[in-house]
Amino acid sequence: MSERMAFVIDLKRCIGCDTCVIGCKVENAVPSGEARIAVYDSGRRPLFEKPEGQFPALSQYWLPTMCHHCEDAPCVKVCPTTTLWKREDGVVMLDVDKCVGCQRCDEACPYDAISFDADVGTADKCTMCVHRIDAGEKPSCALVCPTRAIHQGDINDPGSKVSELLRTRDHKVLAESSGAAPQIYYLEP
Amino acid sequence: MTNTSGGTVRKPKSPPPEADRVVRTVCSPNCMGTCGVNAHVRNDRIIKLEPASFPDPGFERICLRGIAMATERLHHPDRISHPLIRAGERGANVWRQVSWDEAYDYILNRQQAIAERHGWRSNAWVSMTGNYAFRASTSARRMANVVGGTYFSKLGLTADSAAYMGMRAIFGVDYASNDISEVGQAKFLLSVGKNVVDTGHSEMHFLFDAMERGLKFTMVDPRFSRSAAKADEWLAPHPGTDVALALGMIHVVVSEGLIDEAYVVTHTNAPFLVREADGACLRDENGEYLVWDLAAAAPVPAGAAISPALRGSWTVSQRGEEIDCVTAFSLSWREWEAFTPQHAASICGVPPEQIASVAREYATTEPAWLWVGYGPQRYAQGHTVVRAWATLASLCGNIGKPHAGMNTNDGPLMLLLFSPTAEWVTPQGRVGHSLPGTRMVEAIASGEPYPVKSLWMSAYNFGTQSPLLKRFVREALPNLDLFVVSEQVMTDAAVYADVVLPCVSYYEDDWDVVGNIENWYVQLRRRAVPPVGESRNDVDIFGGVCDRLQLGHIWNVDPEQSCRDYLSNHTDPRIRAVDFEALKRDGVARVPVDRPYTPFRDQKFATPSGRIELYQEQFADLDEAVLKAKPQAESGQRDRFPFHLITYKHTHSTHSQHTILPMIAEVLPEPRLEIAPTDAARRNIADGDVVRVFNDRGHFVVKANVSNGVPPGTLAMPQGWWKRHFASGHPSDLGHIPESPVQTRIAETNYSVWDFMCDVEKEEQP
């Protein structure tokens, strides 16, 4: 079977520390004020602590999101150029040189995973650190995550860590109804 | 690589630049995680940070703070790269760039004039924890020793030393902790205020691993911290009421017969006979502590008793005197008996059923790991908090047991910094003077016990991390003929200096050794990039003074040799056993300690009795021989100031070093005051409103975060923010350092950061 690259993110382990956000920015030279990863706090995106419930019956969880590298990627479908395209292993690529800045991808993405750099007029998003994974290394977010919450690998390889996690833990994808077949699997908290 | 949509594979936008070298060094602020890091360097700039290889891969980790520090702080716009002498009034922040020679002349002219008039002890040094390697961290103390100056001790100012003092009184050592990488064998973890998720997040994966294997993690925290969010169970006591909570749990384990009596009578002083009249322990003619031996039906030296009684009172005849005696345990129980879970709940706010169930779980699960953080001891009675939890652990027989224990902190970091090698810190036997840092403002302001006329501050963002800046500027600074600050950036305190000297970050410094606080590795710090501008390391900055005083032959040691000697001459044989060649080769070496690392495994305690001293005879005259709950410092002011304020450590910053970094500001841009919805509503405060927090000592103005995460009566806010982050004032202005007679007797009153009351109101917008 061909490779199918995916992220598996353990919501029990994610502490919302934003190390993945900053590690990614440094690894990929993401400009100031932009990010390829966003960490949601209990389904919202406030910058300040806001647990859910009434004291002391409270809960709070954190959820990192980046490009979901959808199997049926809406962004690739709507891209009028070939800026957005899919590798055979499933990674959704963004060739910025071809981007005309139409922002249709941004509108089509069910996960708000594409940012638009107004200064240069082009789209930007996570590429699963292909420059690293093609060299056999972890993507930056998985490397720097202090709690070992982020995993990346080939879910078609039954021997991979991501496959093992999906076999042994309850998991979900976000907005399954989008039909895009997203490839970030979240292990339930 | 083929391309399903016909394009060719290109590099991503802004391709990450390639490093021209990678240097293994150590991230070492005072988070105490001391992560080994690979600094990726291009054109003498750090472009990326990755975890370095470790013998135990569990310690291959970094975090956002370290990444931002390495890539953004060295060339921060506020970086000081040349010596500066003030060119305006103190505090005006107007400077003249000078040469190192001119700066040294300026400093030495004044220091020598002070020395001629008052002696060298009137020149003083103080340093904090901004740089956690031994050379950097001990250099101010070494400097005071070499010139015969005064060193203001840092322990109390760290606000951590109530924990040390509590531990010392009971166990005879200042700290003890298991190795975090061995938490996997524990079955129950009770974390009291150790907000490991926020403050030790690079260790959190060990705990998650353990939880996946069945460990139950119970968190005690007044606010819903991230650790509370990740815990299996959460107890939320009111701030500063830990002793009542612990006493409630002690009541349960004692009254339900869950204590380990055999352990208690053998290894603690609970069976010791105490004189009813004055609380002194009863001793025989040889000075041996006496217990009541049930087998002999007589008082017997503790070590010789066959069946020591834990409970009871007797009249003992000694040298013709009839002495009414009671066991220390029974005497304590008179105080503790009232602390039923219901009574404890009435003070601490934790439901009585929960107090009882957690107490039972702690006492009956093996191994049960008790962790006590620094937060609970940031009150005037902080030493008692540590004592209370240590008492619970000891009564349950959990001391010296693998994967159990009473755990604060430990490891080579503590040994390297708090037991410094004498040959290094007092070279050629030169010893200066020392005064308590928490009394620094009073000492300078009053000239007592002797005049202090100059102060040199290093590795210390005094403006944000102490309650003293406002008072220092008003009361102490006018008495100083010279105020020098060694710094990387212009801090809130450095603004008031006469001379600011540019200090390197740890990425620009070569040769230093760093320990860790919860594992047993030491690491070597090497230079990743050249010093920015004319900055120098702390040792060389002080060395410039020593050279000019003809003391260079005493001060100067080859940096590599100083690291080698520091380890090989250390007082602790475990540090001496570190293989320096392996450390030099790999950048990391393990201190050879047994696994699992278990403090007090031999049940030996460096206390007067050689036992765990649950009863504190030494404090009988201060009403603290028996563990008891006492009110917080300002509880009498609740009518005027109804709120506690917890300025907590959080994921995004260790103290103040990271809050000024641009990438950190992207994920946490500003302070927000957490306030409960009911409190906010009563004050007409909406989320995002600007509010004023105040008491009689000071105020600060900040936006509100109306949050369910804090209970009514408690305000909370991440700490580490600078004056620039507030429209007016600063949280540290509200604090104080109330005198603790017990702490002063042990060592020095601790800075009880959170033991004050305040109020909050909506700030009227102009």
Q: Are residues B193 and B148 in the same domain?
A: no
Q: Are residues B146 and B181 in the same domain?
A: no
Full domain range(s) for residue B330: 176-408
The single-letter code of the amino acid at B765 is Q
pLDDT of residue B1: 31
pLDDT tier at A47, thresholds 50, 70, 90? low
Asked if A97's CB is within 8 angstroms of B67's CB, the reply is no
Residues of chain B in contact with residue A86, where contact means CB-CB under 8 angstroms, are 4-5
Q: Are residues B402 and B417 in the same domain?
A: no
Residue B17 falls inside a structural domain: no
Boundaries of every domain in chain A: 5-187
Closest by Cα among B385, B464, B432 to B743: B385
Q: Identify which of B3, B12, B664 has the shortest CB distance to residue A87.
A: B3
Number of domains into which chain B is organized = 3
Residues of chain A in contact with residue B224, where contact means CB-CB under 8 angstroms, are 51, 55-56, 58, 60
Q: Are residues B501 and B361 in the same domain?
A: no
Convert the pLDDT of each residue in B300-356 to its tens digit. Answer: 999 999 999 999 999 999 989 999 999 999 999 999 999 999 999 999 999 999 999
pLDDT of residue B10: 34
Query: Do the beta carbons of residue A186 and residue A174 sit within 8 Å?
Result: yes
- Distance from the Cα of B132 to chain A's closest Cα (Å) equals 21
Q: Are residues B368 and B464 in the same domain?
A: no
Q: Does B61 touch chain A (CB under 8 A)?
A: yes
What CATH number does residue B399 fall under?
Answer: 3.40.228.10
User: How far is C-alpha B545 from the chain's CA centre?
Assistant: 31
The single-letter code of the amino acid at B230 is K
Query: Do the beta carbons of residue B595 and residue B182 sit within 8 Å?
Result: yes
Q: Which residues of chain B have pLDDT under 70?
A: 1-16, 766
pLDDT of residue A45: 63
Cis (ω within 30 of 0) for the bond into B367?
yes
Residue with tokens 């809960």: A59
- Distance from the Cα of B48 to chain A's closest Cα (Å) equals 6
Residue B145 falls inside a structural domain: yes
User: How far is C-alpha B414 from the chain's CA centre?
Assistant: 10
Instruction: Give the dihedral of Cα atoms B453, B458, B463, B466; nearest 10 deg.
Output: -90
The single-letter code of the amino acid at A93 is M
Asked if A31's CB is within 8 angstroms of B14's CB, the reply is yes
- Final residue in a domain of this structure, among B357, B384, B408: B408
Interface-testing mutation among A48, A66, A81, A150, with chain B (most B C-beta atoms within 10 A): A48
Q: Measured between alpha carbons, how far is B9 from A152 in angstroms, rounded to an integer?
A: 20
Q: Measured between alpha carbons, how far is A77 from A65 in angstroms, rounded to an integer?
A: 21
Q: Measured between alpha carbons, how far is B457 from B442 in angstroms, rounded to an integer?
A: 17
Q: Residues 353 to 382 of B: which have CB under 8 A from any A CB?
A: none
Query: Do the beta carbons of residue A11 and residue A188 sit within 8 Å?
Result: yes
What CATH number does residue B449 fall under?
Answer: 3.40.50.740
Q: Measured between alpha carbons, how far is B24 from B14 in angstroms, rounded to an integer?
A: 26
Q: Residue B84 is encoded by which pair of tokens?
A: 């500066």
Per-residue DSSP letters for B49-99?
Answer: EEEPP-SSGGG----HHHHHIIIIITT-TTB--S-EEE-SSTTS--EEE--
pLDDT of residue B452: 98
Q: Identify which of A19, A29, A49 has the shortest CB distance to residue B707.
A: A49
- Distance from the Cα of A138 to chain B's closest Cα (Å) equals 12
Asked if A94's CB is within 8 angstroms of B13's CB, the reply is yes
Instruction: Give the dihedral of Cα atoms B362, B367, B373, B378; nearest 10 deg.
Output: 40
Residues of chain B in contact with residue A124, where contact means CB-CB under 8 angstroms, are 13
Q: Are residues B369 and B418 in the same domain?
A: no
pLDDT tier at A46, thresholds 50, 70, 90? low
Query: Do the beta carbons of residue B624 and residue B616 sit within 8 Å?
Result: yes
Q: Residue A4 is encoded by which pair of tokens?
A: 């199918």
Residues of chain B in contact with residue A142, where contact means CB-CB under 8 angstroms, are none
Q: Residue B323 is encoded by which pair of tokens?
A: 């002495």
Predicted TM-score (pTM) of this structure: 0.96
- Distance from the Cα of B762 to chain A's closest Cα (Å) equals 19
Ramachandran area for residue B172 (φ above 0: left; ψ -120 to 50: alpha; else beta): left
Convert the pLDDT of each residue in B333-349 to its tens digit. Answer: 999 999 999 999 999 99
Q: Are residues B462 and B391 in the same domain?
A: no
Residue B44 falls inside a structural domain: no
Cis (ω within 30 of 0) for the bond into B596?
yes
Q: Are residues B110 and B253 in the same domain?
A: no
Ramachandran area for residue B433 (φ above 0: left; ψ -120 to 50: alpha; else beta): beta
ipTM: 0.97
Name the 3-class secondary structure at B192: strand
Per-residue DSSP letters for B414-454?
Answer: HHHHHS--HHHHSGGG---EEE-GGGHHHHHHH--SS---E
Query: Do the beta carbons of residue A66 and residue A37 sit within 8 Å?
Result: yes
Q: Are residues B290 and B371 in the same domain?
A: yes
Q: Are residues B138 and B183 in the same domain?
A: no
Q: What percent of chain A has pLDDT over 90?
A: 88
Query: Do the beta carbons of residue B562 and residue B139 sit within 8 Å?
Result: no
- Final residue in a domain of this structure, among B540, B558, B579: B579
Q: Does B42 touch chain A (CB under 8 A)?
A: no
Convert the pLDDT of each residue in A65-124 to its tens digit. Answer: 999 999 999 999 999 999 999 999 999 999 999 999 999 999 999 999 999 988 889 999
Q: Residue B630 is encoded by which pair of tokens?
A: 């006492």
Q: Are residues B551 and B453 in the same domain?
A: yes
Interface-testing mutation among B4, B5, B195, with chain A (most A C-beta atoms within 10 A): B5
Long-range contacts of B566-570 (CB under 8 A, 24+ apart): B566/B134, B566/B135, B566/B416, B566/B421, B566/B423, B566/B424, B566/B513, B567/B421, B567/B513, B567/B522, B569/B421, B569/B422, B569/B423, B569/B424, B570/B415, B570/B416, B570/B419, B570/B421
Closest by Cα among A55, A106, A144 to B238: A55
- Final residue in a domain of this structure, among B347, B374, B408: B408
Task: Tell me the C-alpha to C-alpha distance, in Å, between residue B708 and each of B239, B690, B731.
Answer: 16, 18, 22
Q: Are residues B640 and B744 in the same domain?
A: yes
pLDDT of residue B16: 64
Q: How far apart are the first and last CA of chain A?
A: 31
Q: Does B14 touch chain A (CB under 8 A)?
A: yes
Residue B712 falls inside a structural domain: yes
Q: Residues 261 to 280 of B: which have CB under 8 A from any A CB?
A: none
Instruction: Give the mean model confidence (pLDDT) for residues A131-151.
Output: 97
Query: Do the beta carbons of residue B501 and residue B487 sit within 8 Å?
Result: yes
Q: Measured between alpha carbons, how far is A159 from A154 in angstroms, rounded to an integer?
A: 9
- Going by CATH, does the domain composed of A5-187 fall within 3.30.70.20? yes
pLDDT of residue B766: 63
Residue B261 falls inside a structural domain: yes
Strand order through the sheet with B321-327: B273-275, B321-327, B313-318
What CATH number does residue B707 fall under?
Answer: 2.40.40.20
Q: Measured between alpha carbons, how far is A46 from B234 in angstroms, rounded to an integer?
A: 24
Asked if B668's CB is within 8 angstroms of A29's CB, the reply is no
H-run or E-run covering B590: strand B588-590
Residue B510 falls inside a structural domain: no
Beta bridge partners of B672: B703
